[in-house]
Amino acid sequence: MKTVMLTIEKKVTLTIDGKKVTVPEGTTVLEAAKTAGIHIPTLCYLEDINKVGACRICTVEVNNRLQAACILPAEEGMVVKTNTSRVRQLRKHILALILANHDSNCPTCIRNNNCELQTLANELNLREEIFEREYARHVDDMSPSVVRDDSKCINCGRCVSICNEVQTVGVLGFVHRSDRTKVAPVYDKSLAELSCINCGQCIVNCPVGALREKDNTDLVWEALADKSKYVIVQTAPAVRAALGEEFGLPIGTGVTGKMVAALRRLGFDKVFDTNFAADVTIMEEGTELLGRIQSGGVLPLITSCSPGWIKFCEHKYPELIPNLSSCKSPQNMMGALLKSHYAKMNGLDPKDIFVVSVMPCTAKKFEVQREELEVDGIRDVDVSITTRELAQMIKEARIDFLRLEDEHFDEYYGESTGAAVIFGATGGVMEAAIRTVADILTGQEIEEVNYEFVRGMEGVKEARIKINEDITLNVAVVHGGANITALLDKVKNGETDYHFIEVMACPGGCVNGGGQPIVPDKIKMEINVPVERAKALYRADSAVKRRKSHQNPMVKKLYEDFLGEPNSELAHKLLHTTYVNRQ
């Protein structure tokens, strides 16, 4: 007889603001209040990431004692008050002390109207300065991607936790002691001098304007005003799943048509879709994978479209550089094709073409400057801006985004498949690759295209995909630095037998990139932002007729008329690259 052991979850009941609440043992008071619909303000808190009780804004009163709710375990019979006079007064004084060390010039701040500190001051009715203001101003803008402004830092530690625990990059930390304590890179160096991967996760998790992307919008405006330039814009798949948030639309609203219309009104000569290049990437990378499998090449093949991941690999796992796909990212493939094939097709001088990419990613700003990413002395991409920067340009141009009628991308380089659009979510590159590789290996058009086992937000996903009786592909999908480290240590130690690994530096993939709209933590506690944005991409995928990259008619024509075949000599010259050992 089999014995089944049942584990009974122990519960505790407490009273919060007169309301009885029953929660599992180990739940914090903050979490218990949330289940009861009671809002306790927070600032340093990041759900599942930063629970340190540093700022004390979440202070509550328990048995006449004031304690931080985010680190206080709920106990049986506990009586909690979240809105007493003592609590409100303490929160207000804490906030006033924070503001005394903060540059509060809100109208000119990048986070004006989307600042958690500003929101708290309004909610707590703080209308005057209680303490004399004193702060030091030091701006580190040497990085091509991330700008750090000490005068706005409130020492909440969110960026430190993200950088060290979630991304395992470790370039940010607390330095000095007592009232001199501050957040800074090691040895007070610039981020540009360290192993920062430019992922921008510190930016999207900062509650204030202490971290922001390097603003390149002036370069774009300048190019648009230059009559000698033929200015082309390309947009990444994840941008269309998030841009609407900047104009008040719900998280996960797809806005492809309005985005295209807005870009035309900004004055771009052509509006193309990076999805076209994503389809090309699958042709190149899929062929590279098959070649390595059939010829005994270096395995596993690891994807190369996430520039944050590439820099992470160059710094921390240079021994795995031979495993990286030599394919450029879709951003740079598109740029190289526009300045070669498109230029030739339209009688343009490549030197007159100015390529702007709109990306969900701050690391793309670093990527476009890489020495390797040019052909015959011509840069693939001239400027990369984030989703946030595009939104700012649309607002600056006084375009009424919500009232725009949907428009389509321009022809040829605006053509793409469903496989390309899911590149923006973790697992999307893998699924797109499988759709094409399975057809090539079997010589058939396989009807099944939804490989849902590689979807979702689980940190590491593994699968054995039986293509036919003779062929099984062992694959893995991983996102976020801590998960990447755990998986790659196994690869490095020979503990795996994968053929193919998809890696994305940002948790959740590009939909959660460092250049996407910033969502306050209060909303993140209610909505899984990467999941909702990913849904928009999967809806777009399922809505189109062609869902495999090799079915894209314009990609077929590109190879027939220009490249020859995937991994040809010309394709390698334009679409492939090399990497640098940065250890």
Question: Mind telling me the catalytic residues?
Answer: 285, 288, 305, 325, 364, 367, 372, 510
Q: Which helix (H) or strand (E) holds 564?
A: none
Using CA atoms, how far residue 558 sits from 148, 336, 563, in Å, is: 43, 13, 6
**Angle formed at CA 143 by CA 301 and CA 119, multiple of 5 degrees:** 105
Q: Measure the CA–CA gap between 534 and 525, rounded to whole angstroms.
A: 18
Q: Measure the CA–CA gap between 487 and 481, rounded to whole angstroms.
A: 10
Q: Measure the CA–CA gap between 315 and 481, rounded to whole angstroms.
A: 12
Q: How many whole angstroms from its chain centre is CA 261?
A: 24
What does the block give as tokens for 372?
A: 């390797």
Q: Of the candidates 117, 60, 134, 120, which has an alpha carbon nearest to the alpha carbon of residue 90? A: 60
Q: Of the candidates 434, 479, 472, which has an alpha carbon nearest to the alpha carbon of residue 453? A: 434
What does the block give as tokens for 374?
A: 């040019």
Torsional class of 234: left (φ above 0), alpha (ψ -120 to 50), beta (otherwise):
beta
User: Half-sphere exposure of residue 179, counting CA atoms within 13 Å on the CB side?
Assistant: 7
The secondary structure of 96-123 as a DSSP string is: HHHHHTS---GGGSTTTTS-HHHHHHHH
Q: Which helix (H) or strand (E) holds 382?
A: none
Q: Measure the CA–CA gap between 211 and 202, rounded to whole angstroms.
A: 7
Rounded to a whole number of angstroms, the distance between the first and last alpha carbons of the chain is 58
Q: Measure the CA–CA gap between 50 and 148, rounded to whole angstroms.
A: 20
Going by their DSSP bridges, the two strands 270-273 and 230-235 should be labelled as parallel
What does the block give as tokens for 435?
A: 């759709």
What one-character DSSP code corresponds to residue 401? G
